[in-house]
Amino acid sequence: MGFEQAWLSYGVLRKESKWRGIERICADPASPVMKNAVGELQKALGTMTGKEPVLCSGADKEAAGTRCIRFRQDGEGKADGYHVYEESGDVVIAASSDCGMLYGAFELIRQAQIGNSPVGLDIAKDPVMPLRMLNHWDNMDGSIERGYSGNSFFFDHDEILVDDRTVTYARLLASVGINGAVINNVNVKDAATWLITDRYFDKLRQLSEIFAGYGIRLFLSLNYAAPVELGELDSADPLSEEVGKWWKDRMKLVFEQVPHLGGFLIKADSEGRPGPFTYGRTHADGANMLAEAVEPYGGLIIWRCFVYNCKQDWRDYKTDRARSGYDNFIELDGAFRDNVILQIKNGPMDFQVREPVHPLFGGLKDTNQMLEVQIAQEYTGQQRHVCYLIPMFQEVLGFRTYVTETDDTVKDLVSGKTFGHTKCGMAAVANTGNDENWTGHDLAAANLYGFGRLAFDPSALAEEIAREWVVRTFGEDEEVCEVLLFILMNSWRAYEMYNAPLGIGWMVNPNYHYGPSVDGYEYDRWGTYHRADHLGIGVDRSHHGTGYAGLYREPNASMYDSPESCPDELLLFFHHMPYDHKLQSGKTVIQHIYDTHFEGVELVDEMVKRFESLEGKIPDKAYRRMLDRFRHQKEHAREWRDQINTYFYRKSGMDDEKGRQIF
């Protein structure tokens, strides 16, 4: 089995499989996307059946009397949607766009891989979110910010790489419906600032053409201060005419040279990156200036809301990092041009194992919005621990904001249903690198796969997605499937159990964010505190404290504001509570901390035990690679358990009811 192809490594179908009878593909592929649709089907069915279907012209379909796959233009269909169905023994892919045809082709491949028959096939799907994007934090020297699977396959030594892996990457993305990719880090420095100059146009064009052939638009992260840093102007003031003109000229050149480009992602006035604040201007001023420059080319400006004071004094109880995204952007609702999208992280802090949903969702009404999640497991085990995140994303998407009476969930907002927006969707910070298996931990690929599937169809269940990914990656063996599903579906819960308790987050080593350090971020400038003392722990974000709970619409605001109604798993995010406070579960805070940390480790032990039963049932190389990581996870979960339990035992002086060993 080739690991380079991830879930597109095709096994041989059973003898009785009805896909074996499909001997022809009737099509006249003219566009690159159609050629890829046909090529993918030929390659997949060829490998799965041992006999590559012959391509013949659409006009010949009556010819040989054998069964075929046909394409049908469907004027009614939604862009990029498809309908695949059986018709008199043939399989038809109907769609209104080439991209829909490609997605239909990948749907057939999926059906074949998971063991479904073409007989009686009838599946119609439209992508629910318009934009389904990956954000790579790849640097041009080849390193990856928060990368846990090797180096970049887009960049090396300040050059852009275009090779076989680029094509496989595009195929993998298209196969799960991802239609956009930002290839460079949001922290745009050094050579990356030059991506919008002729130094890189040729390679960018090649890359964007490969992407376009798979329905993917190439995006770049932009340096807000580019006119200054490229040495051409001495200001980047968004209201200066000269600056506006510079960007218009620049964008004209960029889009002439790289016509498939989709637009730009911008991190401004955040963690030291430049932005409009330098000139006393707003984020709307900055975003709108760029939006005007890319507008003639259909370009989008995706502007991040991850803006906060990263030089806070830990003694300051008034400033609340959780509030900052909301406070910086809410007043600007309605002030952005139509081709600007605000990209909002799922929670108000930074991709912790548990956070409430960002209050800008449900706050903003007149602004295009996109949800940003992180499948790079920065705070969730860095792809050494297994942590299947799709269940978490599903919770976020299902959250009711009450911005309207109905259709008010995050999913409704970012799919455009609530306010009829068409420029919206979901982005994931990518977890890929040049490791052979793409994601370091073989099981981390389930997050890449799952993200695409979820953005295309958020009604798909996390468990179904996981099952499908397992079968497509490791084949149909029932035992393999059951064990890996048990592991994946318990992994987020297990990680949360031995991690920071009850929504408080952080407790990691500064900078590299791995491993337990309860006070690692406690006396620092990043706005990330747990405020534990001998009596209690948690941040008071109620109306007595920072008032953050009040940023939600009712009834969420009241629910979070009171410790009685605040869900247990977020209690310490919203409230400072004594250790003997009784949770809704009936346990005290301190006993909850002890219990979850012991039980989290037991759950990991169970996962590893079951995994070990798979020796010989999955390819040895993958087995060994995973076993190594599982052994580390087992050890490391103990480190988390013991450091956290010990810390709170020493702080509180309270014994564990069950008398287990705490140091």
User: Hey, which residues are catalytic here?
Assistant: 271, 350, 378
Residue 102 φ/ψ, nearest 5 degrees: -60, -45
Q: Chain centroid to CA 269: how far? A: 23
Is the CB of 350 or the CB of 442 nearer to ligand GCU?
350
Beta bridge partners of 370: 343, 425
523 contact partners, CB below 8 Å, separation of at least 6? 314
d(CA 333, CA 344): 13
Residue 396 C-beta: closest distance to ligand GCU, Å = 16
Q: Chain centroid to CA 221: how far? A: 16
Q: Which two tokens stand for residue 4?
A: 């380079």
Is the CB of 354 or the CB of 421 nearer to ligand GCU?
354
d(CA 629, CA 636): 10
- The alpha helices in 51-163, defined as continuous H runs, are 98-113
Number of Cβ within 10 Å of residue 177's Cβ equals: 25
Residue 429 C-beta: closest distance to ligand GCU, Å = 7
| Binding of ligand GCU by 306 (CB under 6 A) | yes
CB 538 within 8 A of CB 576: yes
Residue 376 C-beta: closest distance to ligand GCU, Å = 9
Is the CB of 276 or the CB of 563 nearer to ligand GCU?
276
d(CA 443, CA 120): 33
| Binding of ligand GCU by 309 (CB under 6 A) | no
| Binding of ligand GCU by 321 (CB under 6 A) | no
Residue 528 C-beta: closest distance to ligand GCU, Å = 10
Is the CB of 430 or the CB of 622 nearer to ligand GCU?
430
73-172-466 Cα angle (round to 5):
105
Residues that contact ligand GCU, how many (by CB under 6 A): 8
| Binding of ligand GCU by 38 (CB under 6 A) | no
Is the CB of 267 or the CB of 581 nearer to ligand GCU?
267
Residue 529 C-beta: closest distance to ligand GCU, Å = 16
Residue 135 C-beta: closest distance to ligand GCU, Å = 9
CB 450 within 8 A of CB 390: yes
Is the CB of 191 or the CB of 485 nearer to ligand GCU?
191
DSSP single-letter state for residue 12: P
Q: Which amino acid is at 29?
A: P
| Binding of ligand GCU by 350 (CB under 6 A) | yes
| Binding of ligand GCU by 267 (CB under 6 A) | yes
The interface with ligand GCU within residues 351-410 (CB under 6 A) comprises: 378
| Binding of ligand GCU by 508 (CB under 6 A) | no
| Binding of ligand GCU by 186 (CB under 6 A) | yes
- The alpha helices in 377-477, defined as continuous H runs, are 390-398, 410-415, 445-456, 462-474
Is the CB of 272 or the CB of 555 nearer to ligand GCU?
272
d(CA 3, CA 588): 47
Residue 374 C-beta: closest distance to ligand GCU, Å = 8
Residue 191 C-beta: closest distance to ligand GCU, Å = 17
Residue 266 C-beta: closest distance to ligand GCU, Å = 11
Is the CB of 153 or the CB of 306 nearer to ligand GCU?
306
- Burial of 112 (C-beta count, 10 Å sphere; 0-12/13-18/19+): buried
Q: Which two tokens stand for residue 135?
A: 């954000």
Helix (H, G, I), strand (E, B) or coil at 383: coil
Residue 413 φ/ψ, nearest 5 degrees: -65, -50
Q: Which amino acid is at 303?
A: W
| Binding of ligand GCU by 145 (CB under 6 A) | yes
Is the CB of 155 or the CB of 246 nearer to ligand GCU?
155
What is the DSSP secondary-structure string of 161-203? --SHHHHHHHHHHHHTT--EEE-S-SS--GGGGGGGSTTTHHH
Question: Given candidates 20, 146, 323, 592, which one binds ligand GCU under the rule CB under 6 A?
Answer: 146
Is the CB of 130 or the CB of 527 nearer to ligand GCU?
527
Distance linking the first and last C-alpha atoms of the chain: 46
| Binding of ligand GCU by 187 (CB under 6 A) | yes
d(CA 636, CA 600): 12
Residue 365 C-beta: closest distance to ligand GCU, Å = 25
| Binding of ligand GCU by 524 (CB under 6 A) | no
- The alpha helices in 399-527, defined as continuous H runs, are 410-415, 445-456, 462-474, 478-498
d(CA 280, CA 285): 10
Is the CB of 320 or the CB of 378 nearer to ligand GCU?
378
**Distances from the Cα of 432 to the Cαs of 4, 402, 499, 519, 658, in angstroms?**
12, 36, 24, 30, 43
Residue 379 C-beta: closest distance to ligand GCU, Å = 8
549-553-555 Cα angle (round to 5):
85
- Closest by Cα among 289, 296, 217 to 252: 296
- Binding residues for ligand GCU, rule: CB under 6 A, are 145-146, 186-187, 267, 306, 350, 378
